[in-house]
Structure 1
Amino acid sequence: MKELTAQTLFQLSTVTNPVVSPNGKEAIIVVTNLDEQEDTYQAHLYVIDIKTGKQTKLTHAKGKHIAPQWLPSGDGFTYLSNRKGKNQVFLKQGMTDAKQVTNEEHGVLSYVLSPDGTRIAYSAFFKESEENEPDRKPEPLVIDQMKYKSDQRGLHDDRVMRIGSIDLATDNQQWLTTDYYDSQLLDFSGDSRHVLFASDRTENRDFSFSAHAYLINIDSKQERQVTKEACVITGGAVSPDGQTIALLSHRREYENATLPKVILYRSGTEETDLTANVDAFIGDIAIGDFLQHTGSNRLRFSDDGQSLYTLVSSKGSVNIWKFSLNGDHQQLTNTDAHINGFDFHQDEFIVTHSSVVEPSECYRVNHTEKTLSRLTSFNAAFEESFHVSVPEKVKLNRDDGSFVEGWLMKPAFYKEGQQYPLILEVHGGPHAMYAHTYFHEFQLLTAKGYGVLYTNPRGSHGYGQAFVDAVRGDYGGGDFQDLMDILDDVVKTTNWVDESRLGLTGGSYGGFMTNWAVGHTNRFKAAVTQRSISNWISFYGVSDIGYYFSEWQIKAELDEMETLWKHSPIKYVADVETPLLILHGENDLRCPIEQAEQLFIALKRLGKQTRFIRFPEANHELSRSGKPSLRVKRLEAIFGWFEKYLT
């Protein structure tokens, strides 16, 4: 078996976003690969015969071809493609070349195909009177609002996210929303005449984080407001008969730590919470470093409109659940893995599925036995050629009923009787969930001779509302204790761990925790902090989410400097004795690079052992969707630092 390396990324495929044909005999999937030569990503559509597993490639032009949707006739499909630059919707029927349907200057963000297949609704950024001259001079950006930038979008201008529609037969295009408010596309109605969307229309949106849902008639442009109270809306669906609307939403009872709920809206009746008795995250919240184009957080009505299907994240696994409109609920799959996408025909479910040893493949679900039958083998060569480490579940139970859960990975070429260094990995969020999913960084470290411990401390999703809320206002307190306690337990109960060679790394919140830990303990021999937070006072004003995230998470406003400083790792920089590597993206607006700059200068000023690596053209998503060459260099930097200090 070969040793896995950072470059092995280029030999892996992720299979995601399955959509089943109207007759239930075929499914289209998205297969994504990293292109080493072009230093980008290639995503192509394949159609699979569900019975035989035979697969045929549908797209061939370079680029990303994603988000497929079958025409109801089954004789064609629509999809998003950047083959001509920006993402546009294309229609493919028969043997002719795909037809470009949209022509939006800034590309299409998302789209839905109407149930009758006659039109699409889509979302795109729009700006009035935009000049297109190639020699246009740069203009200063005038800012009047606090929400003027985001890590995904960059600096905002006057563009607004509109919803448009196009008749596929006539190519007639029209805008359904025209106000100066961003609109989030959710679903088409069963009669193909109405579009469900969400929009925040408050005057001052700097302190507004909720929206209302609306149903708009495509022909008359008449709107009906669905929600009585504003809420955070992350998904939505309309029943086939149009009488019921389901929203994946919440009312910020615990700010951004609030579990989403499936809420029903029916004319003349009170709202119904279908998930009132489910203390779990509705949707896919699993953390990984490889999956692309999943399209997983969606609600789907059953064909008879009496049930809803969605993914649910719990205790490191992501499975399909069924919520009946009568209040019953049922878990339809029972896998210790990560189902990242699904579709169905009648009772036949097709899923894309990742496990700790498998990047992602397509499976058919046995509805009766809740087992999976594999349909694709895009990663067969990887599975046959490379040795990977299979995690063992670890759990620390305390006398007071509290607990910490995680997974321990042995070095890939482990030999009984030898001792090995161990690296503790801390996820971001903090409201996320390490899961039974493929993590290339972890496998690389085990291939290089390290054990890896990754856990879900308090603040993580997957263990209920109280658990995820427990970190707010206590950063560096109970969460840090959770990590140290489970590390102590693993060291105590595992004879192959060399306690003198412990490493630590994490990104975002995990970077904060890395910074915090090295200022409060000297037990780690080396650490790597990534896209981190070091100073909550400056973070308040420079992050795209700072001014409200700090209030939600640290529970301190800007005039509460003592509290912000108390939770800032840079306060404790004089106590740092651990060699610390600092990794940060130049274009990170979530945790801006000034956070890394402050930490590096403070450490160097005191003569501490540190190094700072800046990644150009990289935002907060470097480790997951950044330029492939930079992702490889990041992994090599992490391994190189640990190799220097732990071997």
Structure 2
Amino acid sequence: MRKTFISISLLFSILVMGGGLTQESYWDIQSVSNPLISPDGTYVIFTKKFIDKKNDKRITEHWIMNKDGSNKRFFVEGSNLKWSPGSKKIAYVKEDENDTSQIYVKNLINESESKITNFGHNVKDFSWSPNEEFFSFSAFQEYEDNWIIDIPGKVDGEEYEWTEEPTVVTTMHWRADRIGELESGENHLFLVDSSGGAAIKVSDWGLDYIDDLHWLNNSQILFTGNNSLDDLQTPWKQTSVFLLNVQNKKLEKISDQKGVFMKPKASIDGKKIAFIGHPSKDYSSVAHDVYVHDISSGKNKQSTKNISSSPKNLFWLPGNQLVFDLDARGSSKVMKLDIDNLNLTEVISDFTDQFFLSSVHKDSLYGTHATPNRPGEIASIMNSRLTRLTEFNELILGEYNLGKTHEVNYQAPDGTPIQGWYITPPDFDENKTYPLILIIHGGPHAMYRPAFNYSWHQFASDGYVVLFTNPRGSTGYGTEFANVIDNDYPGAGDLSDLLAGVDYITDKGIIDTSRMYVQGCSGGGVLTAWVVGHDDRFAAAASLCPVTNWISMVGTTDIPAWTFEWFDKPFWEDPSNWLDRSPIMRTGFINTPTLFMTGVLDIRTPMPQTEEMYVALKEAGVDTALIRMNEEWHGTSSKPSNWFRTYGYLTEWYERYKK
């Protein structure tokens, strides 16, 4: 026994004393998420992803384990897994022999599989009725296209190799990143017997199902939908909460008539419905509050106020309590709300890691836990104590000595408090100086957090100090902080926040100021181009998937209504603000060598945005390069091989330049 203990201790020492992270181990990292505890509290199903190196893709599997993390094993392939109310079966969606997504059910005891639906269109979302007799599900229904040109000279019975019919576009939002062209129509709701058979339609035209489908009781379903269908408005600002009786098809909007509401969740006793929302649509970013709908009175009560960000997942606990996770100052915290006295408390006090809640059983909470030095693993919280249930990456990451993550808090020139972090190299020596990379987040309404990021730790292992901050406009610090950049992005405020962070870290005397670099993707790409258009301190920059020209952006992106909202007036009435906030208009002020990198399929910040500024810098005589990443939509690293290419291009670009 003593020999075994010594051997294990020696192995642990060898692992911990390893060198810095290497790129090659990225192939081996696995990710786990979305643990769902069974209704009887016995088993947990979860999602596990890994890289298929040969075929350059990420594989998704669903595994099952005991509630304490023991007996982990593969269970099924598919998507959107859901437990039966009796905990004996699991339903999921996967493609059938006709490549159409259908509902399947797998028995937990004998692991037999049954196909439930034989629907003509892809099943998207679904929910099991409390008595297990029915499934409600959503499927897309296409509008009729009545604008078709009849071509003369066509003879019946003859086959012609004519060009495919064109796409006729009459809507503003007719495409989506990672999908391409969208069909025009609505998502409707259907009902099918849980044993199979024909499905019937229970919702009608004029209501587009969005998300959050589940049953209030055996006759009513609850969901987020859109019955405004205003194509000229931002789609995600048109959501409301609905209750639909599947027997008489009576539809009721239970959220307020004005505002934005979503994510309903029925209480355990079925007497209340919690959801989140905001009473106005006039915002760029807002922290949605929790509302509780009393079914007997029909009244809604706002139950939170001035919280840091929008709650993500609502769950009811016994005793009129809600739990949910939300972002707050760089962490994903779990909060408990007593809906009687509206007392809001942290489940784990002073929690600074990340816990992404995904299911509950009585007072036990299940989710994904991530730290600065480890990616997310399945974990539970019981009695305010967190326990990790998986460690899929511990063996591989235990081989390396990783850099340390440090929190910083500083003030912008106007006194605005800013939070950030920096990662030092594994062999950091405070008496030496190191090159710096400032990484800027996208969104722009998003939040950087001190959670494990392979690229950032790889930069640190390669000798860089990595700085990442949350400038004004970030979420997690309340509505006012996030919304302050409305009609002011990019601007002087977020620019000063970022540069003040660089000043703060350089004042520590640990940075080689001749080797400082800046990068970001999407909204971070915007601000990277904005930074070098206003400041020359960086030796080189990399702007990934940026917006560089707001006027040309609005007509080519998949989010046009949202883009129009950033400006007080449309550009044809007054183009001045559109031009003033376009990084391309700062070309004449740029001296910093700037690399551009964008996915060729990107229609969020389309490739022409990158190409326009690349050509402008070329003409202006600034060192630049354009990387067109194949098979990438928005972002540059969805394909595993492109992660290596992205990292390689960035580091080789930085190594070329020194002030």
> Fold match, TM over 0.5?
yes
| Amino acid aligned to 2:189 | I
Which residue number in structure 1 is paired with residue 58 of structure 2?
41
| Amino acid aligned to 1:322 | K
Which residue number in structure 1 is paired with residue 475 of structure 2?
461
Which residue number in structure 2 is paired with residue 220 of structure 1?
248
> Within 2, Cα distance between the matches of 1:25 and 1:646?
59
Matched, 1:162 2:179: no
The alpha carbon displacement at 1:556 in A equals 4.0
Which residue number in structure 2 is paired with residue 292 of structure 1?
none
Which stretch shifts more, 251-260 or 595-604?
251-260
| Amino acid aligned to 2:92 | Y
The alpha carbon displacement at 1:409 in A equals 0.6
CA separation of 1:204 and 1:26: change in aligned 2, threshold 3 A: closer
| Contact 1:582–1:611, Cα closer than 8 Å, also in 2 | yes
> Within 2, Cα distance between the matches of 1:451 and 1:280?
29
| Amino acid aligned to 1:429 | G
> Within 2, Cα distance between the matches of 1:224 and 1:418?
66
In the TM superposition, what are the counterparts of 1:56-205 in structure 2 within 5 Å?
56-59=73-76, 65-81=78-94, 85=99, 87-93=101-107, 94-103=109-118, 107-127=122-142, 138-202=164-228, 204-205=230-231
The alpha carbon displacement at 1:127 in A equals 2.6
The alpha carbon displacement at 1:96 in A equals 4.3
> Within 2, Cα distance between the matches of 1:445 and 1:355?
18
CA separation of 1:205 and 1:282: change in aligned 2, threshold 3 A: same
1:343 aligned residue (348, 359, 362): 359
| Amino acid aligned to 2:611 | E
The alpha carbon displacement at 1:396 in A equals 0.4
CA separation of 1:86 and 1:54: change in aligned 2, threshold 3 A: same
In the TM superposition, what are the counterparts of 1:381-400 in structure 2 within 5 Å?
381-397=395-411
The alpha carbon displacement at 1:253 in A equals 5.2
> Within 2, Cα distance between the matches of 1:261 and 1:533?
31
Which residue number in structure 1 is paired with residue 287 of structure 2?
259
SS in 2 for 1:215: strand
Matched, 1:300 2:329: no
CA separation of 1:513 and 1:104: change in aligned 2, threshold 3 A: farther
| Contact 1:65–1:79, Cα closer than 8 Å, also in 2 | yes
| Contact 2:522–2:635, Cα closer than 8 Å, also in 1 | no
> Within 2, Cα distance between the matches of 1:646 and 1:163?
59
1:363 aligned residue (362, 379, 384): 379
Which whole-Å deviations, capped at 9, do the CAs of 1:190-213 have from their partners, x for residues lacking one? 423211123333364313632332
> Within 2, Cα distance between the matches of 1:301 and 1:609?
57
Which whole-Å deviations, capped at 9, do the CAs of 1:537-575 have from their partners, x for residues lacking one? 2122222223x3344334442222111111111011122
Q: Indicate the structure (1 or 2) with the bigger Cα radius of gyration.
A: 2
1:425 aligned residue (439, 455, 462): 439
| Amino acid aligned to 2:243 | L
| Contact 2:214–2:223, Cα closer than 8 Å, also in 1 | no
The alpha carbon displacement at 1:214 in A equals 1.8
Matched, 1:589 2:603: yes
> Within 1, Cα distance between the matches of 2:42 and 2:240?
38
| Amino acid aligned to 1:545 | I
CA separation of 1:399 and 1:522: change in aligned 2, threshold 3 A: closer
2:500 aligned residue (482, 485, 489): 485
Alignment length, in residue pairs?
619
SS in 1 for 2:586: helix
SS in 1 for 2:657: helix
The alpha carbon displacement at 1:113 in A equals 2.5
1:51 aligned residue (63, 68, 86): 68
| Amino acid aligned to 1:346 | K
| Contact 2:459–2:466, Cα closer than 8 Å, also in 1 | yes
The alpha carbon displacement at 1:360 in A equals 1.1
Which residue number in structure 1 is paired with residue 343 of structure 2?
328
Which whole-Å deviations, capped at 9, do the CAs of 1:319-351 have from their partners, x for residues lacking one? 211222212222213431111233221112222
> Within 1, Cα distance between the matches of 2:191 and 2:452?
38
The alpha carbon displacement at 1:238 in A equals 1.9
| Contact 1:211–1:230, Cα closer than 8 Å, also in 2 | no
Matched, 1:605 2:622: no
The alpha carbon displacement at 1:453 in A equals 0.2
CA separation of 1:137 and 1:123: change in aligned 2, threshold 3 A: farther
SS in 1 for 2:398: helix
Which residue number in structure 1 is paired with residue 641 of structure 2?
629
CA separation of 1:11 and 1:180: change in aligned 2, threshold 3 A: same
CA separation of 1:100 and 1:8: change in aligned 2, threshold 3 A: farther
| Contact 2:283–2:483, Cα closer than 8 Å, also in 1 | no
CA separation of 1:137 and 1:353: change in aligned 2, threshold 3 A: farther
Matched, 1:519 2:533: yes
| Amino acid aligned to 2:70 | G
Q: CA RMSD in A?
A: 2.5
In the TM superposition, what are the counterparts of 1:229-248 in structure 2 within 5 Å?
229-248=257-276
| Contact 2:38–2:83, Cα closer than 8 Å, also in 1 | yes
CA separation of 1:508 and 1:420: change in aligned 2, threshold 3 A: same
Which stretch shifts more, 174-183 or 423-432?
174-183
2:302 aligned residue (265, 273, 293): 273
| Amino acid aligned to 1:557 | P
| Amino acid aligned to 1:274 | S
TM-score, normalised with respect to structure 1: 0.90
SS in 2 for 1:455: strand
Which stretch shifts more, 215-224 or 448-457?
215-224
> Within 1, Cα distance between the matches of 2:192 and 2:345?
38
Which whole-Å deviations, capped at 9, do the CAs of 1:22-56 have from their partners, x for residues lacking one? 22232111111122222222122222222363312
| Amino acid aligned to 1:362 | I
SS in 1 for 2:130: coil
Which stretch shifts more, 375-384 or 510-519?
375-384
The alpha carbon displacement at 1:265 in A equals 2.0
Matched, 1:403 2:420: no
> Within 1, Cα distance between the matches of 2:229 and 2:60?
40
CA separation of 1:142 and 1:251: change in aligned 2, threshold 3 A: farther
> Within 2, Cα distance between the matches of 1:256 and 1:633?
34
| Contact 2:117–2:196, Cα closer than 8 Å, also in 1 | no
CA separation of 1:553 and 1:7: change in aligned 2, threshold 3 A: farther
Unaligned runs of 5+ in 1: 284-296
> Within 2, Cα distance between the matches of 1:260 and 1:640?
43
Matched, 1:619 2:633: yes
The alpha carbon displacement at 1:602 in A equals 0.6
> Within 2, Cα distance between the matches of 1:175 and 1:585?
40
CA separation of 1:411 and 1:108: change in aligned 2, threshold 3 A: farther
SS in 2 for 1:433: coil
| Amino acid aligned to 2:555 | G
TM-score, normalised with respect to structure 2: 0.88
SS in 1 for 2:526: helix
| Amino acid aligned to 2:422 | L
Matched, 1:552 2:565: yes
> Within 2, Cα distance between the matches of 1:512 and 1:385?
37
CA separation of 1:616 and 1:556: change in aligned 2, threshold 3 A: farther
The alpha carbon displacement at 1:182 in A equals 2.3
> Within 2, Cα distance between the matches of 1:250 and 1:194?
25
| Amino acid aligned to 1:210 | Q
Which runs of at least 4 in structure 1 moved beyond 6 Å after TM superposition?
none
| Amino acid aligned to 2:461 | A
The alpha carbon displacement at 1:126 in A equals 2.7
